[in-house]
């Protein structure tokens, strides 16, 4: 066929010059990187996380070393930049070490709940009908409890401790994630390209993994990321009630609890750990917001 | 419409049953024997068996559940191990106290949140928008128990203006309120109000901004409608989802006031829950959780029905 | 799949195909059915293009999906080149290797997270091909539809125009080397100029790859252009089936005539004051008794309400389901017609 005829039959220049602009996640990353507020938050989180991970080298003092004569020293005291707590331990070191427990207790339940709840939701959404009803009704029962109540009740029943509060927090977050996963999967399942995939004779497992998941993980992860800040708040809250980390472990929520008695004597020390919780929570919140707007934008 | 209500009610019943099953399982999830709190020291196996039989713990689980459910349906939640009074007599006054706090907080939060949201949504100045958004983000990210502590530090410790803990002498008899009661109520209510204020400020702002952009608003302006009338149109259209959010926030507040109540030693359900956990008083724990969860479910149901009445577009299965 | 029975044996033979969709009441009980496809039968001959026309909701798309077993039929038999689908014959998986579908170009007909190559290679890998070879085949398919794999292979759907996306749809359809390609409104969403390109491409591919087409569309002019035979559906039933020229020139069923008459014409001499077809199709949950078209048919008589007309030959390979043209049916207009040869 001549070049002219070929053009007539097969069409003219392509819609965009050259090759592809990259996959979905690359575009999302580009958008987030351009958001200054999000970058700032990421930097804060990185600082907290890094100092937590490298705590033995970063912290100026031993977080467990008590000293009866040096109790409740105010900030800017010599050797103790942020002062000391009610047992004479260095606040800065305890805050840095506290990051280990508090951040883990915030991230781990959300990650676990995303995997478990996400799988449940995707299965319920893809197969529909009876499987959907069975799974989602059970999920709805747990949804009937307010989050804090469920977390506290479960932690109360299982007993105090980090592992138990991890379990109860995971249980609290599985229902909302499962719901989001089910809702998104149901939308995706009805699209033509899923039908086309079924038309090739592929098994359900293959279709879910190769077609559905790619389109569904975006919204699920965005939603999950918005839960991290809540997780940090609730897990610190559990420690605050004495249901999470036990003394003498350094944990921001627990520190708020033990320093409460000193609130009249050393108010600034008493509220310091909360600043860390607040900072971490806000940063995660803004980052997840940026992620959400990045995903709404089509390049 | 009525069919929809019927369907929702029918659907809620199994949920409540599920809630009772979860609450029932609390006793058996707890490590250790369910009756260890009641057992005398060094009880012989015979005594243990007798006590077990007396409490009905020797029967199979489903039978235990049904018997327990029967009691609960009659309003008998058992006896508190700690105080030896009926659980109901402990829980009900606590619920009233929490309700007082929650309702005050919700009114405060809604007023602040909606006003800020409206201001930001209708204003065209970036700085207003930015500051309200910042406030909203702070509201939802802040650990409210910490905020409570900060409030105590500022107003009770430093300024000595308000009491740090406790409830006013008049209790829940609102018509007997004096200034002293209000002084005790302000700090916890303000603290609890922050989260709904933040959520609402953000939602209202987003809804108003979106509705303003929609074409029918431009059409209204083209027709020469005055600004006040347009304002009303916009509010009417933005209202339904906002009302849903308000309902949900109220429901969450009822169940989630535990931490703030602990900070302010407010004698509500949260405080009670704390005490029950500390003393491993399982009947009290169960009773409190069931009451709170049921309130939550019913409030959600009410919100759903109200929302369908207002906005026929929303009709969930 | 090799050719089994020679050119005379139909590639696909459908009898008694039925699908009712249950409707649920407010409490979840089934209280009615949408009679989407109600006992239809037809053949698809090898190497032809069978056009399927009808108004929205007549059951064309449902029929296509039933043929591919994307929806489970309630009743009926499908025979592919002499082998029945189901027990004893071909499995559904084998059926899907031989019958593929090209969807209407919506944005959602291609996975937004898959590049063109990945999307096409998926079906090949499902049937056992290794990744590298699947990629090769996918590129070959892209070339066949006129897209350069180097330029388009790694592109995502949002980076392509409508016509290009539709070509990828076609490439996905032919990648498995099917014998029958079902085109469900495949050009309806495209601009006219792009439509022409894609239709020419399809014609070219049909010759090159020895394909058989089932072309579903509501656009009668396009169907006239591409189809060898035409099948007319209405409310889940087949009303007329026959050679394209025969139907377009001498349609026998009043419904077909009305459909053809309602086409817009560029000829200023053809002015119509009254619409040839009025109203909407009746409720598929409670179709009229007897002939389903009788509520809109100008020729309806008592016999039409009593008895449902069956497909009858009125000319060579031309069948119609209408009492008015079938001798011996009892319809007043049928009395004067001699028996078909």
Where along chain A do its domains lie? 42-64+81-296
Q: How many CB pairs under 8 A join A and C?
A: 96
Q: What does the H/E/C string look like for C285-313?
A: CCCCCCCCCCCCCCCCCHHHHHCCCCCEE
- Residues of chain C with Cβ-Cβ distance to A199 below 8 Å are 68, 70, 96, 100-101
Average pLDDT for C301-322: 84
Cβ distance C40 to C238 under 8 Å?
yes
pLDDT recorded at residue C24 = 76
Nearest residue in B to A236, CA atom: B143
Question: Quick check: A67 and A88 in contact, CB under 8 A?
Answer: yes
| Cβ <8 Å between A278 and B142 | yes
pLDDT for the residue numbered C213: 94
Among candidate residues A231, A11, A199, A3, the one with its CA nearest the CA of residue A113: A231
Contact A245, A239 (CB under 8 A): yes
Mean pLDDT on B256-277: 86
Residue of B nearest to C28 (CA): B7
CA C334 from centre of chain: 30
Kindly tell me if the per-residue pLDDT of B317 is higher than 50. Answer: no
| pLDDT for the residue A182 | 92
DSSP for chain B, written as a single string: -HHHHHHHHHHHHHHHHHHHHHHHHHHHHSSS-TTTTTPPTT--HHHHHHHHHHHTTTS-HHHHHHHHHHHHHHT---B-TTT-SBHHHHHHHHHHHHHHHHHHHHHHHHHHHHHHHHHHHH---HHHHHHHHHHHHHHHHS-HHHHHHHHIIIIIIIS--S-SS---TTTT-GGG--HHHHHHHHHHHHHHHHHHHHHHHHHHHHHHHHHHHSHHHHHHHHTT--HHHHHHHHHHHHHHHHHHHHHHHHHHHHHH-HHHHHHHT--SHHHHHHHHHHTT-HHHHHHHHHHHHHHHHHHHHHHHHHHHHH-TT----
Pick the closest to residue B268 from B178, B185, B193 (CA basis).
B185
Tell me the shortest Cα–Cα distance from A22 to chain B, in angstroms: 31
Instruction: Tell if the CB–CB gap between A146 and B254 is shorter than 8 Å.
Output: yes
Identify all chain C residues contacting B7, using CB atoms and an 8 Å cutoff: 26-27
Q: How far apart are CA C319 and CA B239, in angstroms?
A: 60
- pLDDT single digits (tens) C139-149: 999 999 999 99
Task: Give the rounded percent of residues in chain B with a pLDDT score beyond 90.
Answer: 2
Among C residues 54-113, those touching chain A with beta carbons less than 8 Å apart:
65, 68, 70, 92-93, 96-97, 100-101, 103-104, 106, 108-113
pLDDT of the residue at C119: 92
Confidence at residue C216, expressed as pLDDT on a 0 to 100 scale: 93
Reading the block at residue C63, the tokens are: 């029929």
pLDDT at B270 over 80: yes
What's the residue count for chain B? 317
pLDDT at A28: 77
- The ipTM is 0.80
Distance of residue A202 Cα from the nearest chain C Cα, in angstroms: 6
Cβ separation of B18 and A140 shorter than 8 Å?
Answer: yes
- As a whole number of angstroms, the distance between CA B207 and CA C76 comes to 53
Q: Domain C12-250's class? A: alpha beta
What's the mean pLDDT in B168-187?
77
Query: C333 is written with which tokens?
Result: 């207009």
C contacts of A20 (beta carbons < 8 Å): 115, 154-156, 159
- Average pLDDT over every residue of B14-23: 84
Of the candidates B14, B153, B289, the beta carbon closest to that of A149 is on B289
When scoring C25, C26, C29, C31 by the number of chain B Cβ atoms within 10 A, the one with the most, hence best to mutate, is C26
Q: Which residues contact C223 (CB under 8 A, 6 or more apart)?
A: C51, C53, C215, C217, C230, C244
Residue that has been written with the tokens 């259209």 in this structure: B237
| Distance between B18 CA and the closest CA of chain C, angstroms | 21
pLDDT computed for residue A23 by the predictor = 67
Nearest neighbour of C113 by CB, restricted to A11, A24, A200: A24
- Residue in A11, A19, A200 nearest the CB of C163: A11
Helices (H), chain C: 60-67, 92-98, 116-126, 131-144, 149-152, 162-174, 192-209, 220-226, 244-249, 254-261, 302-306
Q: Quick: pLDDT tens for C257-291.
A: 888 887 777 777 777 766 777 777 788 788 888 88
Rounded distance, CA C23 to CA C18, Å? 16
| pLDDT single digits (tens) B60-77 | 777 777 877 787 777 777
**Would an 8 Å CB–CB cutoff place C146 in contact with chain A?**
yes
* Average pLDDT value over all residues in chain C: 86
3-state secondary structure of A230: helix
- Rounded Cα distance, C308 and C334, in Å: 15
C101 conformational bin, left if phi > 0, alpha if psi -120 to 50, beta if neither? beta
Report in angstroms the alpha-carbon separations of C171 from B265, C120, C155: 70, 7, 14
* DSSP H or E segment with residue C180: strand C180-184
The region that residue A232 occupies, defined by phi over 0 for left and psi between -120 and 50 for alpha, beta otherwise, is alpha
**Position C170 confidence tier, pLDDT thresholds 50, 70, 90:** very high
- Choose among C96, C109, C156: nearest Cβ to A193: C109
CA dist., res. A74 & res. C322, Å (int): 98
Helix axes A267-296, A91-127, angle to 10 degrees: 30
Contact: A192, C160; criterion CB under 8 Å: no
Residues of chain B with Cβ-Cβ distance to C27 below 8 Å are: 7, 10
CB atoms within 10 A of CB A91: 27
The C-alpha of B309 sits at a distance from chain C's nearest C-alpha, in angstroms, of: 18
**Mind telling me how many Å the CA of B202 is from chain C's nearest CA?**
31
| C185, pLDDT greater than 50 | yes
Q: Interior CA angle at B155 toward B149 and A250, to 5°?
A: 20
pLDDT at site C214: 94
> Which residues of chain B lie closer than 8 angstroms to C31, CB-CB?
none
Which pLDDT does position B313 carry in this prediction?
62
Q: How many CB atoms lie within 10 A of CB A46?
A: 11
Query: Which residue is closest to A214 within chain C, CA to CA?
Result: C113
Cis peptide before C62 (omega within 30 of 0): no
- Report yes or no: B305 and B247 within 8 Å, Cβ to Cβ: no
Tokens describing residue C196: 């022409």
How do C49-53 and C229-234 pair as beta strands?
parallel
pLDDT averaged per 10 residues in sequence order, chain A, 299 residues:
42 42 72 80 87 84 82 80 82 88 92 94 89 88 85 83 90 93 90 89 88 89 90 91 85 89 83 90 88 69
Q: Provide the pLDDT for residue A2.
A: 45
Band of pLDDT at residue B54, cut at 50, 70 and 90: low
Query: Do the beta carbons of residue C293 and residue C256 sit within 8 Å?
Result: no
Residues B156 and C264: their CA atoms lie apart, in Å, by 83
* Of the partner residues A146, A153, A256, the one whose CB lies closest to the CB of residue B149: A256
Sheet holding C12-24, edge to edge: C30-44, C12-24, C75-80, C83-84
The CA-based angle A60-A66-A71, given to 5 degrees, is 95
Query: Cα-atom radius of gyration of chain B, to the nearest Å?
Result: 24
Residue C161 and residue A24: Cβ atoms within 8 Å? Answer: no
Report d(CA C6, CA B213) in Å as an integer: 65
- Per-residue pLDDT, averaged over B275-283, amounts to 81
Distance CA B244, CA B308 (A): 10
β-strands C229-234, C99-102: how paired?
unpaired
Write the pLDDT tens digit of every residue in B75-126.
Answer: 777 777 677 777 788 888 888 888 888 888 989 998 999 888 888 887 778 8
CA dist C26 → B114, B223, B301, C283 (Å): 37, 43, 18, 20
Question: Among A207-211, B30-34, C101-105, which range has the highest average pLDDT?
Answer: A207-211
Classified by CATH at the fold level, domain A42-64+81-296 comes out as MetI-like fold (1.10.3720)
Sign of CA dihedral B33, B37, B40, B46: negative
Percent of chain C with pLDDT over 70: 95
Domain ranges of chain C: 12-250, 268-341
Nearest to C256 by CA among C224, C284, C208, C211: C224
Q: Which of B143, B157, B300 sits opposite A233 (nearest CB)?
A: B143
pLDDT at C132: 92
Cβ-based neighbours of B87, under 8 Å, separated by 6 or more: B77, B78, B79, B80, B283, B284, B286, B287, B288
Using alpha carbons, select from B273, B251, B250 the residue that is nearest to residue B262: B273
- Tell me the angle at which helices C116-126 and C162-174 cross, rounded to the nearest 10 degrees: 20
Interface contact C27, partner B, CB < 8 A: yes
pLDDT for res C311:
85
Residue to substitute from B91, B143, B251, interface A, most A β-carbons within 10 A: B143
């Amino acid at each position: 066929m001549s070049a002219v005829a070929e053009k007539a039959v097969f069409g003219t220049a392509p819609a965009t010059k050259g090759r592809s602009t990259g996959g979905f996640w690359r575009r999302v990353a580009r958008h987030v990187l351009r958001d200054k507020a999000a970058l700032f938050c990421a930097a804060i989180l990185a600082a907290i996380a890094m100092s937590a991970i490298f705590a033995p080298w970063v912290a100026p003092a031993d977080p467990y070393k008590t000293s009866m004569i040096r109790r409740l020293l105010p900030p800017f005291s010599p050797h103790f930049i942020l002062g000391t707590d009610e047992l004479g331990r260095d606040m800065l070191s305890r805050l840095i070490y506290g990051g280990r427990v508090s951040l883990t207790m915030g991230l781990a339940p959300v990650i676990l709940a995303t995997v478990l709840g996400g799988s449940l939701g995707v299965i319920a959404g893809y197969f529909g009908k009876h499987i959907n009803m069975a799974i989602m009704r059970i999920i709805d029962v747990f949804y009937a409890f307010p989050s804090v109540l469920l977390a506290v009740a479960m932690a109360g029943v299982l007993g105090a401790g980090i592992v138990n509060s991890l379990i109860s927090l995971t249980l609290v977050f599985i229902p909302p994630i499962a719901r989001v996963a089910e809702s998104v999967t149901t939308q995706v399942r009805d699209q033509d390209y899923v039908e086309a995939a079924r038309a090739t004779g592929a098994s359900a497992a293959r279709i879910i993994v190769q077609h559905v998941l790619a389109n569904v993980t975006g919204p699920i992860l965005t939603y999950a990321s918005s839960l991290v800040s809540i997780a940090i708040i609730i897990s610190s809250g559990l420690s605050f009630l004495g249901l999470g980390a036990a003394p003498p472990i350094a944990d921001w929520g627990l520190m708020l609890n033990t320093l409460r008695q000193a609130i009249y004597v050393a108010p600034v020390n008493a509220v310091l750990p909360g600043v860390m919780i607040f900072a971490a929570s806000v940063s995660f919140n803004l980052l997840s917001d940026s992620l959400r707007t990045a995903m709404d934008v089509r390049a | 419409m009525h069919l929809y209500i019927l369907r929702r009610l029918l659907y809620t019943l199994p949920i409540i049953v599920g809630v009772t099953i979860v609450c029932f399982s609390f006793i058996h999830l707890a490590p250790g024997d369910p009756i260890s709190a009641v057992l005398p020291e060094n009880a012989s196996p015979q005594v243990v068996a007798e006590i077990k039989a007396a409490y009905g713990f020797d029967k199979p689980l489903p039978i235990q559940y049904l018997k327990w459910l029967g009691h609960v349906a009659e309003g008998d939640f058992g006896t508190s191990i700690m105080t030896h009074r009926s659980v109901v007599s402990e829980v009900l006054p606590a619920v009233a106290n929490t309700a007082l706090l929650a309702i005050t907080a919700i009114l405060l939060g809604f007023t602040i949140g909606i006003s800020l949201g409206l201001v930001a949504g209708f204003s065209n100045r970036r700085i207003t928008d930015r500051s309200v958004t910042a406030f909203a983000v702070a509201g939802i990210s802040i650990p409210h128990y910490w905020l409570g502590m900060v409030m105590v530090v500022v107003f009770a410790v430093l300024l000595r203006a308000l009491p740090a803990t406790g409830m006013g002498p008049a209790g829940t008899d609102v018509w007997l309120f004096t200034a002293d009661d209000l002084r005790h109520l302000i700090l916890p209510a303000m603290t609890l109000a922050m989260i709904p204020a933040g959520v609402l400020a953000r939602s209202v702002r987003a809804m108003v901004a979106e509705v303003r952009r929609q074409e029918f608003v431009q059409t209204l302006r083209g027709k020469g409608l005055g600004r006040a009338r347009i304002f009303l149109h916009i509010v009417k259209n933005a209202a339904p989802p906002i009302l849903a959010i308000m309902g949900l926030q109220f429901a969450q507040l009822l169940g989630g006031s535990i931490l703030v109540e602990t900070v302010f030693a407010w004698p509500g359900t949260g405080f009670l829950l704390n005490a029950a956990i500390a003393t491993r008083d399982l009947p009290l724990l169960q009773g409190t959780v069931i009451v709170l969860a049921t309130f939550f479910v019913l409030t959600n149901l009410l919100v759903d029905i109200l929302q369908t009445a207002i906005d026929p577009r929303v009709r969930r299965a | 799949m090799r050719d089994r029975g020679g050119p005379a044996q139909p590639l696909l033979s459908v009898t008694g195909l039925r699908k009712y969709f249950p409707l649920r009441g407010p409490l979840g009980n089934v209280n009615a059915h949408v009679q989407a496809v109600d006992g239809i039968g037809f053949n698809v001959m090898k190497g032809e293009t069978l056009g399927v026309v009808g108004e929205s909701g007549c059951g064309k798309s449902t029929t296509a999906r039933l043929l591919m077993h994307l929806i489970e039929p309630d009743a009926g038999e499908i025979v592919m080149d002499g082998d029945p689908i189901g027990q004893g014959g071909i499995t559904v998986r084998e059926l899907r290797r031989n019958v593929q579908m090209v969807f209407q170009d919506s944005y959602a007909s291609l996975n937004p997270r898959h590049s063109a190559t990945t999307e096409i290679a998926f079906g090949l890998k499902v049937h056992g091909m290794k990744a590298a070879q699947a990629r090769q085949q996918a590129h070959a398919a892209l070339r066949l539809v006129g897209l350069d794999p180097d330029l388009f292979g790694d592109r995502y759907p949002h980076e392509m125009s409508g016509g290009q996306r539709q070509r990828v749809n076609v490439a996905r359809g032919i990648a498995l080397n099917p014998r029958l390609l079902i085109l469900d409104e495949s050009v309806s969403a495209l601009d006219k100029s792009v439509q022409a390109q894609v239709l020419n491409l399809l014609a070219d591919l049909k010759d090159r790859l020895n394909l058989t087409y089932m072309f579903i569309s509501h656009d009668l002019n396009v169907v006239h252009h591409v189809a060898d035979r035409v099948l007319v559906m209405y409310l889940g039933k087949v009303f007329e089936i026959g050679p394209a020229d025969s139907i377009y020139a001498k349609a026998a069923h009043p419904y077909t005539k009305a459909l053809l008459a309602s086409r817009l014409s560029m000829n200023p001499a053809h002015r119509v004051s009254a619409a040839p077809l009025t109203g909407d199709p009746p409720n598929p949950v409670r179709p009229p008794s007897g002939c389903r078209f009788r509520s809109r048919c100008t020729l309806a008589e008592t016999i039409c309400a009593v008895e449902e007309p069956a497909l009858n030959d009125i000319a060579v390979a031309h069948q119609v389901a209408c009492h008015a043209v079938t001798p011996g049916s009892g319809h007043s207009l049928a009395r004067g017609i001699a028996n078909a040869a």
